[in-house]
Amino acid sequence: MSHIFPRHTLIQPPRIAGGDGVYLIDADGKRYLDGSGGAAVSCLGHSDRKVLDAIKAQLDRIAFAHTGFFTSDPAEELADRLIALAPEGLERVYLVSGGSEAVEAALKLARQYFIETGQPQRRHVIARQQSYHGNTLGALATGGNRWRRAPFAPLLMETHHVSPCYAYRGQQPGETADAYGLRLAREFESKLEELGPDTVMAFVAEPVVGATLGAVPAVPGYFKAIREVCDRHGVLLILDEVMCGMGRTGTLFACEQDGVRPDICAIAKGLGAGYQPIGAMLCSGTIYEAIAAGSGFFQHGHTYMGHPTACAAALAVLGRLTDDGIAADVAPRGDRLRAALEDRFGQHPHVGDIRGRGLFLGLELVADRENRTPFDPARKVNARVKRAAFEAGLVCYPMGGTIDGQRGDHVLLAPPFILDEDQTGELVDKLGVAIREATGA
């Protein structure tokens, strides 16, 4: 009997034994093509020599020293590198161990910034429905996924949610993308006005929505309009790039493609590429300086923040992404995967939408393509896709979002950036088998 407390007490997963490029290998020797990088984590596959060597070299120097006493070369170099690559205006890096920690730090930094600048009445957070920002209580409260929130609702801080930018279901017939983006920005501004604009501290959103919607980018212009509303009312824009950042969408930061600069940005997953657990919160010089000139102390912290071994791994990952040109391959490889998906599923009766950016792609599965009718949740289509794909030797990330109060189904694809042409074909073939198994077509 296993003494592990698993994610799901009814499911005993196979044991992982090895990795080889884009493949995971279980203890029975079965190979799985990692079509989702776990959950958009493993951007370099599972056997990147340079990253592994960097970790080993750091372990031979010093594995860990507490940031209450020391900084380290890898942490300093990682922060320098991130800031050199980040959108203009982001000037400081706060290193943590994962995505939820990065989002928590962002929320607390926003709050402290307003205290230090004499606006303690600013306490409200506005985020979007059908969003996910992490599982710790602050991050969970920020997210707008009803199913995840429900059991913990009495424990969650008060937050406010507006509509997501979800063109497939939100854009009205005859409405242009511009008009849709502006309508949503107006909805956000109305929410601000309802709460009292000077009581709101931040708007939180993912540039490309991952887990809850399945790789849904905003329409062009949406984030610019949101940024304008934030600026008009002195509200901070926090972008959660935990899943979509670090090259996944074709640019190192997804928001580069939306032409906006956040005040705070959370990154994680692809930063450590799965080789080490690490996340980071990047913030503007204005925020940092307000605290430096005020209390001089960000009232937050975790034991493992700035962990030197994790930082050494992330630094090597960034080197692979930028110096070795791997991130530059994401756009063309993403186009290739998308074309293969369009080719295979473009007319599929149960694939309603194929969307995303770079190697961050999603398929929405529907009962009826014409009317975009979701499957009956009782059919558990996304769980069946996941199981059938896994049996066929493909790891993909099917999830049920919440559509009009119902659970809908989508499959998220976020393969390693090294996915080659044959592997692209293998992914699409295996996904086809899984979708047929789950939908009957």
Q: Select the span of 129-137, 257-265, 319-327, 364-372 touching ligand PMP (CB under 6 A).
A: 129-137
Q: Is 210 in the site for ligand PMP (CB under 6 A)?
A: yes
- Give the residue ranges of DSSP H helices in 86-236: 99-116, 137-142, 146-149, 167-170, 177-195, 222-233
Q: Judged by CB, which is closer to ligand PMP: 128, or 350?
A: 128
Q: Is 242 in the site for ligand PMP (CB under 6 A)?
A: yes
Q: Judged by CB, which is closer to ligand PMP: 223, or 345?
A: 223
Calculate the CA dihedral of residues 205, 206, 207, 208 and round it to 10 degrees. -140
Cα angle value 218/220/223 (rounded, 5°) = 65
Q: Select the span of 130-138, 192-200, 337-345, 420-428 touching ligand PMP (CB under 6 A).
A: 130-138
Q: Is 240 in the site for ligand PMP (CB under 6 A)?
A: yes
Q: How far apart are CA 106 and CA 117, in angstroms?
A: 16
Q: Is 248 in the site for ligand PMP (CB under 6 A)?
A: no
Tokens (6 digits) for 158 = 């008060």
Q: Is 402 in the site for ligand PMP (CB under 6 A)?
A: no
Q: Judged by CB, which is closer to ligand PMP: 128, or 348?
A: 128
Q: Judged by CB, which is closer to ligand PMP: 240, or 426?
A: 240
Q: Which of 396, 392, 378 is nearest to 437 (CA)?
A: 392
Q: What are phi and psi of 134, to 5 degrees?
A: 130, 170
Q: How far is the CB of 298 from ligand PMP (least distance, A)?
A: 20
Q: Judged by CB, which is closer to ligand PMP: 48, or 206?
A: 206
Q: Select the span of 164-172, 205-213, 318-326, 364-372 touching ligand PMP (CB under 6 A).
A: 205-213
Q: How many residues bind ligand PMP (CB under 6 A)?
A: 15
Q: Is 211 in the site for ligand PMP (CB under 6 A)?
A: yes
Q: Judged by CB, which is closer to ligand PMP: 206, or 426?
A: 206
Q: Judged by CB, which is closer to ligand PMP: 74, or 99?
A: 99
Site string for ligand PMP, 50-79 (x = CB under 6 A): ------------------------------
Residue with tokens 């279980």: 26
Which of 44, 201, 236, 243: binder of ligand PMP (CB under 6 A)?
243
Q: Is 416 in the site for ligand PMP (CB under 6 A)?
A: no
Residue ranges in 93-112 that form contacts with ligand PMP under rule CB under 6 A: 98-100, 103
- 6 CB-near residues (< 8 Å, 6+ apart): 12, 13
Residue ranges in 250-279 that form contacts with ligand PMP under rule CB under 6 A: 268
Q: How far is the CB of 174 from ligand PMP (least distance, A)?
A: 32
Site string for ligand PMP, 24-53 (x = CB under 6 A): ---------------x--------------
Residue with tokens 């930018």: 165
For 380, which DSSP code?
-
β-pair type (279-284, 90-96):
antiparallel
Please report, for residues 90, 103, 114, the alpha-carbon distance to residue 119 in angstroms, rounded to integers and kept in the order given: 22, 21, 5
Q: Judged by CB, which is closer to ligand PMP: 24, or 281?
A: 281
Q: How far apart are CA 23 and CA 333, in angstroms?
A: 17
Q: Residues 223, 260: contact at Cβ < 8 Å?
A: yes
Q: How far apart are CA 33 and CA 426, in angstroms?
A: 8
Give the neighbor-by-neighbor strand order of the sheet with 264-267: 90-96, 279-284, 264-267, 236-241, 200-205, 124-128, 160-162
Exposure pattern of 213-251 as b/e (b: 16+ CB <10 Å)?
bbbbbbbebbbebbbebbeebebbbbbbbbbbbbbbbbb
Sites of contact with ligand PMP (CB under 6 A): 39, 98-100, 103, 132-134, 206, 210-211, 240, 242-243, 268
